[in-house]
Structure 1
Amino acid sequence: MKRTMPKMLSAFRLVRLPRAIIFFLLAFPLIMVGPGLGFAEVVKKQIPKIPLVPEPLLKWPERGSDYAVLVDKSRQKVFVYHRASLFKPAMVFRCSTGENDGPKSRRNDRRTPEGIYFFTRAVDRKYLTPIYGVRALPINYPNPLDKIEGRDGYGIWFHGTNKELKPKDTNGCIALENQDIEKLASIIKLKDTPVIIDSKIKMVPPETLRSEAAQLENLLEEWRKAWERKQIDKYMSFYNSRFRSSGKNWYQWKKYKESLAQKYGRIKVRISNLRLLRNSHMVLARFRQTYVAPSFQSQGEKTLFLKQNSKEWRIVAESFEGGSIRRMRVVARPLSYKEEIGALIKSWETAWESKNLKKYLSFYDARFRSRGMSLRAWKNYKAKLNKKYSSIQVEIKDLKIRRASRHLAEVQFKQLFKADQYRDFGFKRMLLVKRGKHWKIKREEWKPLKKASRL
């Protein structure tokens, strides 16, 4: 009995020891900070806060303005950040925005735009009426994305005021105290310092900012490589279906890029001095672009506007301001028969789409026959179709060209035809004959691959 007691006591101590440790750990925060706080509150209080940075400032360019201007409409504040420190704004100003909430969409709606803009000019006091205070700094509203999305109006300024500054008290401009608009004017660069306006400026951990910037940089690099390698289908996959630029929609932009890919041989595209900005609705990418082709070179500033389609960012609009364009003289080499016929098919397709009947018929041989029709009957047939449809779209896929003899060549491809609410998809085969220096279409056959439909 005496021998077993020490063993039992030792076992008892080992069992009791973890409870004592747990009791001490639970009691320790109360001992240190005093009664009245729960354990979760104590732990929360003792965990250091992660410093946050503004989400809109994804990437700063190597060269350019050192400042960015952020407008938080919910707080009626203007925050000015310097590239050297994103953890704390360099300046904070009270402001007044439009009387009505929401982004500006039309003239006289008394709303302030929400988007990414740039200061376009500075207007001195002597050119202003007193209501605008001592200075005004207009921005480029509406920008290309605003125009695509149907937003109109004009004359959105940052400006001073000659009256008491009240929240949400303007027609859509951003009003500041006179001394603050002067401070702001002293640090901005026209057409370079960005302005991000949003209903609320979101703050995020720095790692989140770096991750989003890296994702967008990778997307732009893939876009650049597809363009440079003339992979037009892949290149166009980076564009939103609602894309517009220079008056061209997505479909017309693709045609334009295909024609340039055929026109120029090897091309080089370089991107430098990249800036990435975002608000809650979109991303803006602005960079220096250098485009080099065998007989052509251009440099300038490219701006892309991207919107998120589900989880993927896609280009909705783009603009280019050329800094320098240089045409280089080259000795033209003779085109191969495939290049000659490929260019003919592209021009034929363009003439068909534009309903330029005279140009379209110029690609046909005088002895042309198709579906029992002569060239004259074919002309009448196409003239009726041009009158019937207001718009025509043609898309060619899987083009194959084979030379049958010195003066004959066979062409075949898949053809998608759209005209107003009608569409069909089929296989087209052509026989071309060479007359002197030019190829002409002598025969043309088409058979459907899918049943014709109305959209």
Structure 2
Amino acid sequence: MMRHIFFPAFIAISLYVSGIMPVTGITLILDTHIDIDFPREHDSLSETTERILMDSLHAIRNSRMDVAMRGVESLVETHPEFRLAQLVYGDLLLSKSRLITNVGSYPDAPPDKVIGLREEARQRFQHHLRFSPLTTLPEYLVRLAGGFSRVIVVDISQSRLYLYEGHGTEVRLRGDYYVSVGKNGFPKRLEGDKKTPIGVYVTTGSIPPDTLPDRYGVGAFPINYPNEWDKRFGRTGDGIWIHGVPKDTYSRTPRASDGCIAIANEDLLLIKDILATPNTPVILAKDVSWAKHGKIAALRSRFEERFEGWRRDWESLDHRGYAKYYSQDFRNETENRTSWLRHKRRINAGKRYVKVDISNLSIFGYPDEHNMLVVTFDQNYRSNNYSGRRKKRQYWRQEKDDGTWHIVYENVISRIQ
């Protein structure tokens, strides 16, 4: 039997804002079937759910209410907890007896719920209207680590999470999901500010759902906020997770979390194994900047030439040549530029040779930081009196005056056995 959780209201304003409702003098033609850029044998359950909703809104735009009704009826039957679908369903029923003219004009419609659901409809539809991944990537994806890698990119302002996979310079989109972010927006600065951070992070593991309150849904996956850059600027707080939603809710409105990324449970189940893998990169951007593959390749080529120079000059034991790669603003948790270079000079004084091999190199742009890259790699260091393998992370910044890349942060993340 079909169960309905009823949110009666009208949908015209939300659809008008999204460009769905007819506007005098403008003809808008949409096809929500063509905005997918990766091969697959069949749609996942979550993709089917959103596709049906988008097709139904498209049908409303073209005054095909019978088509819209069939689609939305299927959604409220399979997902009675999908409040946006219930909202659209209620309005379609009301449209049989009166003109759809406004959202929330129904006398008993709770304004706070209607506003949030209207924004969810707008975010979802605008994404499908505008998103075209055929020739562009998030500009932050300069290089993925060697071997098979995945990276998460979240567009906070657009309420979308993208899953990319590949190796090295070969990157392709594998998933695209609606999400909810911090109720007070972004970027996170202080503990308890209920904002979502902006930056480059990694996952740190998983929290089983049976140890969590219901509001976190089918699981939670923490990220390493605050990262090295956040700590440098005194940003506080913790407990930023990618997590699910309560079992009686299909999705949350765009700004509803305490700073975390909240995603539909059926979507989270699709990517949970990826998120549970420690050190999966998670890039949180205010508004994702998209770039053509050629532009990203050019940046990668220029930077990797500079990075190789740093490695080569380290091996040469030329302290002056090595020092030129470190910014005057260099600082890590314990040292500034002066103490760092003094320490390196003292170590190298007893070296007859140094060999440095780099592997598993990843390079990610840092959102909202002018020309900064986060570089993570495995380092195999050998010399006449010491050898060791370490995972390292560096932050490189392109100087404004001459465009040269310099290291502003460097430290060891872990030992490699």
The answer, yes or no, to whether TM exceeds 0.5 is yes
Counterparts of 1:267-282 in structure 2, within 5 Å, are 267-280=354-367, 281=369, 282=372
- 1:246-284 CA deviation, whole Å, 9 max, x = no partner? 411111101101101113221111112211111332311
SS in 2 for 1:239: coil
- 1:262-313 CA deviation, whole Å, 9 max, x = no partner? 1322111111221111133231111110111111101121111223321333
- 1:430-451 CA deviation, whole Å, 9 max, x = no partner? xxxxxxxxxxxxxxxxxxxxxx
Paired with 2:145 and 2:273, the residues of 1 have a C-alpha distance of 21
SS in 2 for 1:248: coil
Where structure 2 has 5 or more consecutive residues not aligned to the other structure, the ranges are 1-132
Paired with 1:181 and 1:135, the residues of 2 have a C-alpha distance of 8
Compute the displacement of 1:316 (Å).
1.8
Q: Which residue of 1 aligns with 2:41?
A: none
SS in 1 for 2:197: coil
Q: Which residue of 1 aligns with 2:410?
A: 318
| Contact kept? 2:165, 2:171, Cα under 8 Å | no
Does residue 81 (structure 1) correspond to residue 164 (structure 2)? The answer is: yes
Compute the displacement of 1:324 (Å).
4.8
Q: Which has the larger radius of gyration?
A: 1
Q: Which residue of 2 aligns with 1:292?
A: 382
Paired with 1:257 and 1:87, the residues of 2 have a C-alpha distance of 37
User: Which of residues 339, 343, 346 is equivalent to 1:256?
Assistant: 343
| Contact kept? 1:57, 1:276, Cα under 8 Å | yes
| Contact kept? 1:264, 1:294, Cα under 8 Å | yes
The code of the aligned residue for 2:408 comes to V
| Contact kept? 1:50, 1:205, Cα under 8 Å | no
Where structure 1 has 5 or more consecutive residues not aligned to the other structure, the ranges are 1-48, 326-455
| Contact kept? 1:73, 1:197, Cα under 8 Å | yes
Q: Which residue of 2 aligns with 1:101?
A: 185
Paired with 2:210 and 2:186, the residues of 1 have a C-alpha distance of 33
SS in 1 for 2:347: helix
| Contact kept? 1:54, 1:86, Cα under 8 Å | no
Question: In the superposition, relative to structure 1, how do residues 90 and 297 fare at CA in structure 2: closer, same or farther (>3 Å)?
Answer: same
Compute the displacement of 1:323 (Å).
3.3
Q: Which residue of 2 aligns with 1:63?
A: 147
Q: Which residue of 2 aligns with 1:185?
A: 272
| Contact kept? 2:205, 2:276, Cα under 8 Å | no
Counterparts of 1:12-161 in structure 2, within 5 Å, are 51-65=135-149, 67-83=150-166, 89-161=173-245
Q: Which residue of 1 aligns with 2:4?
A: none
User: Which of residues 292, 296, 302 is equivalent to 1:215?
Assistant: 302
| Contact kept? 2:142, 2:300, Cα under 8 Å | yes
Question: In the superposition, relative to structure 1, how do residues 122 and 53 fare at CA in structure 2: closer, same or farther (>3 Å)?
Answer: same
Q: Which residue of 2 aligns with 1:381?
A: none
Compute the displacement of 1:215 (Å).
1.2
Question: In the superposition, relative to structure 1, how do residues 64 and 82 fare at CA in structure 2: closer, same or farther (>3 Å)?
Answer: closer
Runs ≥4 residues deviating over 4 A: 84-88
Q: Which residue of 2 aligns with 1:25?
A: none
Does residue 303 (structure 1) correspond to residue 393 (structure 2)? The answer is: yes
The code of the aligned residue for 2:328 comes to S
Paired with 2:264 and 2:197, the residues of 1 have a C-alpha distance of 20
SS in 1 for 2:330: strand
Question: What's the TM-score once normalised by structure 1's chain length?
Answer: 0.57
Identity, % of aligned pairs? 29
Q: Which residue of 1 aligns with 2:122?
A: none
RMSD: 2.1
| Contact kept? 2:148, 2:166, Cα under 8 Å | no
Higher mean C-alpha displacement, 232-241 vs 161-170: 232-241
| Contact kept? 1:69, 1:79, Cα under 8 Å | yes
Compute the displacement of 1:50 (Å).
7.8
